Structure 1
Amino acid sequence: MPWTLRTEFAFDSAHVITGYDGPCGRLHGHTYRVQMALTSGRLRPSAHIQRNIMVADFKSLKWAKKDVTQGGLDHAFLNEHPDLRDDTTAEVIAAYLHRETLRRVRECLEPGDAGEDLRLKVTLWETPDSSCEYWE
């Protein structure tokens, strides 16, 4: 695959790991840092340009940094998020970011393009020195 589109961003959220015996079982927050790396074997158009010159629009990879009232995860209480609920570990959040980002990217593709060549790797840092990677 000749192209990898890579971007990083951060968002702040609070959560409780339900049932955790320790400090993470109490309400606390993180400044999560995310790296998205989307690889493709070909270039495509986007919602903003109709020529085949992009892997994807950077905007489609950075959706989670938007405020929770705009559909992102910034300043969210993650336990109230319908796709996370009580499972708010870094592993579960990284898998959700992966699934939702690919859904959003594929939603922008032209009819007939299933985006089968697209590969996404999500790295989520919960603290400056603790991260989780998720890819398929």
Structure 2
Amino acid sequence: MYIKKITFLFVITPLFLFAGLKHLSLQNAMKMLDKNNLELKISRFTEQMKAYEAKAAKGQNFGKLDLSISAMRSNDAGNVFGFKLQSREANFGDFGAEEFFANYQLAQGGNAQAGADLFTKPPSDLNYP
């Protein structure tokens, strides 16, 4: 009785094991391997990342350009002068130094009106920078 059970198991078991087996060609097996293998997917992503890193390294050859533009507009002379002071572009000409020295030379030459205007008349560059 014991031998019959063992024989029965050896005969019936392979029938159940091979019941769902289909013919699998090499091409189908390779397609399944390409589609489902995680190691291949990881290697493809690694390959893509290396390609992007190579492109980034080639991009370093072209350098880098940073461009910053700032512009302000105003009709108020005080604002314009303040903008120039803030951006550190103000010079003595903005304070009317050129007109002061021109009037000073005229006053030294004997021009009385230039002498009177030297300290009383505001320079036009100060009012219209």
Provide TM-score, normalisation by structure 2: 0.22
Question: Per residue, is there more helix in 1 or in 2?
Answer: 2
Bigger strand fraction: 1
Q: Which has the higher contact order (CA 8 A, sep 6+)?
A: 1
**TM-score between both structures, scaled by the size of structure 1:** 0.21
Q: Considering only CA atoms, is the larger Rg found in Structure 1 or Structure 2?
A: 2
